[in-house]
Structure 1
Amino acid sequence: MPIAAAFAGICVLAGGTWYLDVPMRVMADGYTAVGELQTLRLPDGSLAEMNSGTAIAVAYSSGERRIRLLKGEAVFTVNADAQRPFIVEAHGGTAAALGTVYAVREDSDGATVTVIESHVAISPDADAQPLRIGAGQRVRYENGHLGPVEFVDAVSETAWRRRKLIFIDRPLGEVVDELNRYHKGMIRIVDSAIRSRRVSGVFETDDIIKVVDALEKSFGFSDTRLGNFVILIHR
């Protein structure tokens, strides 16, 4: 793709994304802008640690404690209440706490649940039989279907809580997608041949430009920039 065309397309997309984000802010009880982290104390004293670019809506009743994850990612530390289950709803499915700390991440295709402590019961849709997973396990669901249960380092997976990102042998394309969550602009790889290059490292989320510079120096890539807002990575 020509660099000029890529710049034009990205700038239009950025403007449209901001416009669509306005109603999300109105619906949300908790909201974080790009690059912002926030801990929200819920009505029962449970905590929701919200990652960058996250929105949640709180719907507590006498029978349940329900959180709608509208976008982004949050870690929930849940206070016990046997009379009112704690349920996070995301992308058509639910993740019900069984006395636990867990992360739920929503994206355009589905949702991912990672258990940090205790257990969670996951239902990919209203009719599905719940799947129970425990600490150090992760599962993703899309379109009402559960993926395989994976064993992960939950602390590393949620390193953003300490303003860090930990990558172990991840494709550059996935790494750049993650960096975009913390960048007030857009980073794109315009040379598809380098998307599969593998990346390992620990990076700070407070200075994404510094991370991009380090990756380019390590791999010998170049970029074209519109200030530091739009960054197009290529060979």
Structure 2
Amino acid sequence: MNTEPVHPDPSTPDWAALQRQAHAWVREFATGKPTVADMARVKQWRGLSAEHERAWTQACRDWKALGAHAEAFAEQRPELARPRPRRIDRRVFLGAAASAFGTLAVVGVVRPPLGLWPSWREWQSDYRTATGEQRQFTLAHDIRLNLNTQTSVALRGQGDQPVFELVSGEAAVSAAGAACEVLAGQGRVLLTRGEVEVRRLPGDQVRVRCTEGSTEVWHPTRRITLVAGQQVTYDPNSMDDRVRPAPPVSAWRQGMVAFDDQPLSDVVDEINRYRPGRVVLMNDALARRRLSARVSVQALDEVVEHIERLYGASVRRVGDLVILS
């Protein structure tokens, strides 16, 4: 994060001051580019007193309500997402800029442009990974969560049958006898004994793979049972008519990224899930080229070099930003 909230004086009992500090933290988390160190610092701040924690909780509620209003506003005014270029008077522009900035900031919290930072729902999740990060969690009842890069999982229910929501990204969930449920998009995955991999795909699609045992996938249109080696995909409106074969384990769990005759537009999207910074593809003809490869998640710049050599692409680098044309 480039800016830093004002740090509180732990001895200050002023509730209004605590609220301002809490809102500063939440605003920076929602609209900046926070790091793991930032997360540790805000956790320490929250632990200074019960009042600090209460101020943080209230600030989160306020921003969550703001996000709900922004979503409703975006649905009512979709034209704001696709502004038409036009000539405007400079005085009109300067007068409108202040109010427009506030609107764009709110929309940016709900739908960050190009996925450059986590959305508010992702920040509200209980388990998260940053770009290029993978983490494992062992929970009650011997349930295990394995999170891939840029993944957010929220705990929606506890007790004898925990309920998790895959807010974004990709996760493997294993259960050794205790039932659990995974919510993803419009579907539910019920697991008692075995392992599944669930991924949120572009276009509100979800892919469910069963790698061990069996699992039930519930969708508003129908319900199916998957066994090890099978996968299915669904979107908000329908589920695949038939199950498809799946690999024994996904490449990411072996520290690899696999491309199987994929267009370079998809390849670049996948690289951006793992690589800090951004790779931008500016050439439509190049985007339609296809690539098959299997590389380490630590060596994704080699894919960019391969594209440069194989297709004669022009590559420009500005820090972590890579432009392909």
Task: Answer yes or no: same fold by TM over 0.5.
Answer: yes
SS of 2:142 mapped into structure 1 = coil
Amino acid aligned to 1:106: R
What's the TM-score, normalizing by structure 2?
A: 0.61
Judge which range, 28-37 or 63-72, deviates more: 63-72
Q: Which residue of 2 aligns with 1:103?
A: 197
Counterpart contact for 1:121–1:131, Cα < 8 Å:
yes
Q: CA shift at 1:54, angstroms? A: 0.5
Distance between the aligned counterparts of 2:121 and 2:267, measured in 1?
29
Alignment of 1:70-149 (within 5 A): 70-81=167-178, 85-108=179-202, 109-125=204-220, 128-147=221-240, 148-149=242-243
Structure 1: which 5+ runs fail to align?
A: 1-11
Q: Which residue of 2 aligns with 1:219?
A: 311
Match of 1:24 among 122, 146, 149: 122
Distance 1:59 1:92, change over 3 A: same
Match of 1:208 among 296, 300, 308: 300
- Aligned-residue Cα RMSD (Å) equals 2.2
Q: CA shift at 1:131, angstroms? A: 0.9
Alignment of 1:147-166 (within 5 A): 147=240, 148-155=242-249, 158-166=250-258
* 1:44 equivalenced with 2:141 (yes/no): yes
Larger Rg: 2
Q: CA shift at 1:170, angstroms? A: 1.8
Structure 2: which 5+ runs fail to align?
A: 1-107
Count the aligned residue pairs.
214
Amino acid aligned to 1:130: R
Distance between the aligned counterparts of 1:15 and 1:167, measured in 2?
25
Higher strand share goes to which structure?
1
Distance between the aligned counterparts of 2:306 and 2:117, measured in 1?
32
Counterpart contact for 2:112–2:118, Cα < 8 Å:
no
Identity of aligned residues (%): 25
Distance between the aligned counterparts of 2:323 and 2:281, measured in 1?
6
SS of 1:44 mapped into structure 2 = helix
Distance between the aligned counterparts of 1:166 and 1:80, measured in 2?
32
Distance 1:30 1:232, change over 3 A: same
Q: CA shift at 1:171, angstroms? A: 1.8
User: Which aligned segments of 4 or more residues in structure 1 are displaced greater than 6 angstroms?
Assistant: 12-16
What's the CA shift string for 1:105-138, capped at 9, x where partnerless? 013412110111122211223xx43211222211
* 1:180 equivalenced with 2:272 (yes/no): yes
Counterpart contact for 1:68–1:88, Cα < 8 Å:
yes
Structure scoring higher RCO (CA < 8 A, sep ≥ 6) equals 1
Higher helix share goes to which structure?
2
What's the CA shift string for 1:79-99, capped at 9, x where partnerless? 202xxx311001121111142
What's the TM-score, normalizing by structure 1?
A: 0.82
Counterpart contact for 1:77–1:102, Cα < 8 Å:
yes
Distance between the aligned counterparts of 1:16 and 1:22, measured in 2?
15
